[in-house]
């Protein structure tokens, strides 16, 4: 019996899992770290925190499972938050804190990139618009605002690829994560030299880019000493958190769609043929599955918005949950279930840190609209969940508008633990939603990539069919779907009505 390890460098913490060749999870561990917001719209983390947490997480897993020559670890796969930029000097030392995917300081840089390249040029060269979250704008920001740091800049890595470097001493990237840098020719699966030339950045900043299943390093002597792993274990390319999340839920072929309710919300649809949304409201990136792409819509605060709501407005419920020894989110959804679909006209816009799909607006703000003396806290709780789900439906509709068929929706993330929220998704999307037995997320996908990359398994479709089991199918209710459709129409109209006001608020805050 052999084993595979998957490591996911998330925004909240690192998760490590160990699975056997039957796909059974033998052990897992999570080690959290801090996110820093030193200024408005800034979001940063210390890459050294990722590394320390990774070492600790690996050690915790190895303590739970006795690894011998008869049950060795034969490969390691990596997953991580997309877009976030790690800046290294010529000695491979971190220059400054990493600028994260949810950081929106780069609005001016995005405007400059769009003017320099043109919207048409971005569509043709990298298949995506210039957005604040993407990596290229962060590099330009460093050049514009921290020239002393930029002068020291030698390499730019993404979070999981920095951990690959610390584990193996190899600097490498892979296609799914590279797709989110705005420096990658997604259609042809290679770095875009054309973009680099236009924005005057050297190719030397980037590392070689491989398919996700390629072996891109081996555990070094130093990493073996720190972690307890055996020297020489292959480290596979791995994937961005979204592609690993998709593989970990079996979303590896056209027609299946991933609905992920994590800190951000993601709708992920595999493509057998390359295509893009003509308006570039949704992204097109490379899938970690060979010869596939995917179209993706993102709402920046999904379960993160629900967590914000809980932290700020549910102190009484938190105390009640503690007394009843009940999970706080279960208590909140239990109370939300006492309210009718549509929350009696109370509608929530979940744009707490701006929005990506479909609005591409860093200045968008969160809104509770339509409340009256009749509305209770339970209404606000339900409206929060509905608003997040409406935002995901925006992405579903864009993907379908390109001719892409959506047959089945596979749910993952923290929101997928709630039967109430799963049924709400089925009703709002008007499609069947599948919950799964495994809840390991991107870390499991990273492990499956490592298994295919090292030859343990032949391909993703066969492997996922064998290893990933469906727990329950949630079917839409025609009555609830009809009711939600009325309020979704209002939800869709709110952003255009408030767009100018969002801009005015942003300008007022700056003053």
Which positions are annotated as active-site residues? 241
Angle at alpha carbon of residue 435, lines to 406 and 357, rounded to 5°: 50
Which residues, 6 or more positions from 63, have their beta carbon under 8 angstroms from its beta carbon? Answer: none
d(CA 133, CA 155): 19
The answer to whether 264 and 300 are in contact (CB under 8 A) is yes
The answer to whether 159 and 129 are in contact (CB under 8 A) is no
d(CA 453, CA 69): 21
The answer to whether 453 and 75 are in contact (CB under 8 A) is yes
Question: What is the chain's alpha carbon radius of gyration, rounded to the nearest angstrom?
Answer: 22
Alpha-carbon torsion angle 197, 203, 208, 210, nearest 10: -10
Query: How many CA within 13 A on the CB side of residue 8?
Result: 29
Q: In sequence order, what DSSP letters do the residues of 15-77 get, joined into one string?
A: EEEEEETT--EEEEEEEE---B-SSTT--EE-HHHHHHHHHHHHHHHHHHS---TTS-EEEEE
d(CA 421, CA 305): 14
d(CA 381, CA 507): 30
d(CA 409, CA 156): 35
Could you tell me how far CA 169 lies from the centroid of its own chain?
26
**Hey, which residues does 265 pair with through a beta bridge?**
261, 299
d(CA 23, CA 26): 9
Which residues, 6 or more positions from 395, have their beta carbon under 8 angstroms from its beta carbon? Answer: 267, 282, 296, 297, 298, 299, 357, 358
Residue 93 has a CB neighbour count (10 Å cut-off) of 11
Q: Phi/psi class of residue 189: alpha, beta or left (left: φ > 0; alpha: ψ in -120 to 50)?
A: left
Alpha-carbon torsion angle 45, 51, 55, 60, nearest 10: 20
Which residues, 6 or more positions from 111, have their beta carbon under 8 angstroms from its beta carbon? Answer: 130
434 upstream amide cis, omega within 30 of 0? no
Residue 267: phi and psi, rounded to 5, are -115, 125
């Amino acid at each position: 019996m052999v084993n595979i390890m998957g490591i996911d460098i998330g925004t909240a913490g690192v998760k490590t899992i160990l699975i056997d060749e039957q796909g059974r999870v033998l052990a897992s561990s999570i080690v959290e770290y801090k996110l820093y917001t030193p200024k408005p719209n800034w979001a940063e983390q210390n890459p050294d925190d990722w590394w320390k947490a990774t070492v600790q997480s690996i050690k915790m897993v190895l303590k739970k499972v006795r690894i011998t020559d008869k049950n060795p670890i034969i490969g390691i796969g990596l997953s991580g938050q997309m877009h976030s930029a790690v800046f290294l000097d010529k000695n491979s030392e971190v220059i400054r804190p990493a600028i994260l995917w949810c950081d929106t300081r780069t609005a001016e840089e995005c405007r400059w990139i769009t003017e320099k390249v043109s919207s048409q040029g971005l569509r043709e060269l990298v298949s995506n618009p210039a957005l604040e979250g993407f990596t290229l704008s962060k590099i330009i920001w460093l050049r514009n605002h921290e020239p002393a740091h930029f002068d020291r800049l030698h390499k730019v890595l993404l979070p999981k690829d920095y951990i690959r470097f610390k584990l193996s001493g190899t600097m490498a990237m892979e296609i799914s994560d590279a797709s989110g840098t705005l420096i990658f020719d997604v259609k042809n699966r290679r770095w875009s030299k054309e973009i680099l030339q236009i924005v005057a950045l050297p190719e030397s900043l980037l590392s070689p880019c491989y398919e996700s299943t390629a072996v891109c390093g081996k555990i070094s002597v130093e990493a073996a000493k720190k972690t307890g792993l055996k020297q020489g274990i292959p480290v596979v390319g791995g994937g961005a958190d979204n592609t690993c999340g998709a593989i970990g839920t079996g979303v590896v072929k056209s027609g299946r769609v991933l609905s992920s309710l994590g800190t951000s919300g993601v709708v992920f649809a595999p493509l057998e043929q390359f295509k893009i949304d003509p308006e570039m409201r949704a992204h097109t990136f490379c899938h970690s599955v060979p010869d596939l792409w995917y179209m993706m819509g993102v709402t920046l605060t999904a379960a993160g918005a629900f967590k914000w709501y809980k932290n700020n407005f549910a102190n009484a419920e938190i105390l009640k949950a503690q007394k009843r020894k009940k999970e706080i989110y279960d208590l909140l959804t239990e109370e939300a279930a006492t309210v009718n679909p549509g929350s009696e006209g109370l509608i929530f816009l979940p744009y707490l840190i701006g929005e990506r799909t479909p609005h591409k607006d860093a200045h968008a703000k969160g809104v509770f609209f339509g409340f009256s003396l009749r509305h209770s806290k339970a209404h606000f709780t339900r409206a929060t969940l509905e608003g997040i789900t409406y935002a995901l439906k925006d992405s579903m509709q864009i993907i379908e508008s390109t001719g892409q068929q959506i047959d089945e929706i596979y749910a993952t993330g923290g929101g997928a633990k709630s039967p109430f929220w799963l049924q709400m998704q089925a009703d709002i999307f008007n499609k069947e939603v599948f919950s799964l037995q495994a809840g390991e997320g991107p870390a499991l996908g990273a492990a499956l990539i490592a298994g295919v990359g090292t030859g343990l398994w032949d391909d993703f479709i066969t492997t996922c069919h064998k290893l990933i089991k469906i727990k329950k199918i949630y079917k839409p209710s025609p009555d609830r779907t009809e009711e939600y459709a009325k309020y979704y129409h209002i939800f869709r109209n709110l952003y255009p009505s408030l767009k100018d006001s969002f801009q005015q608020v942003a300008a007022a805050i700056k003053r």
